Amino acid sequence: MEAIVLAGGLGTRLQGVIGTEQPKCMAPVNNAPFLSYLFTYLDKYCTRVMLSLGYKNKAVIEWLDGQDVGFEVDYVIEQEPLGTGGGILAAIEDAETDDVVVVNGDTMFNINLREIMAFHRKQKAEVTLALKPMENFDRYGIVRPGANNVISSFEEKKPTDKGLINGGVYVINREAFLARPLKGKFSFEKDYLEQYVKDGKFFGFESDAYFIDIGVPADYEKAQADFKTLFA
């Protein structure tokens, strides 16, 4: 299995906590970069991991030089910000497998990647999104799956009592994705998922596994405590 890690984010909302000299994926959690925990997670499933790097990429590359992991590591560097879609596109062009996992470099959604991959292939999906059930939130948009887990719509962020959110883990069919007329800089969420959802080729895989997005200081601090147990 191959995975792409989107690891070029600026981390604007975290810069007051972690400073400006490193991307979000390198934010320290219990004295180790967040990316190291993603690597531990991916090591259970992957033979190759590709990093899509941008902001302060040298910090990531220097860290990689000292790592001994159980999978091949490659990376691409954005010469200018390409957005989430452009970051995926830059890396997936070098993929060697038909279906590629994509994870965000600032999110941990501890789902079983073998299960979502099997589901994706059974459905012959173009993209499968890992969906997390959540209550009392306003930070995330809502994903609406319909019959047979086909995603019918994406809704904007708003105060919500209960719903399914996009957990930031995807399985993408490489050929189908590359066939779309998307080039250069674009948003994976807005310009791809929302644009083509009506084609009926996007599926949702629901999981109540552990989830955290460290993009805001409160959840970044929560990760410090959670990871002591999750990665004990």
Amino acid letter at 123?
Answer: Q
Alpha helices of 43-165 — where are they, by DSSP H? 57-65, 83-92, 113-123
CB 22 within 8 A of CB 62: no
Compute the CA torsion angle 74, 79, 84, 85 (nearest 10 deg): -90
Task: Give the CATH number of domain 2-230.
Answer: 3.90.550.10
pLDDT in tens, the chain (232 residues): 999 999 987 667 677 677 777 888 999 999 999 999 999 999 999 999 999 999 889 999 999 998 889 999 999 998 888 999 999 999 999 999 999 999 999 999 999 999 999 999 999 999 999 999 999 999 999 999 999 999 999 999 999 999 999 999 999 999 999 999 998 899 999 999 999 999 999 999 999 999 999 988 999 999 999 999 999 8
Alpha helices of the chain — where are they, by DSSP H? 15-18, 34-42, 57-65, 83-92, 113-123, 174-179, 194-196, 217-230
Model confidence, pTM: 0.95
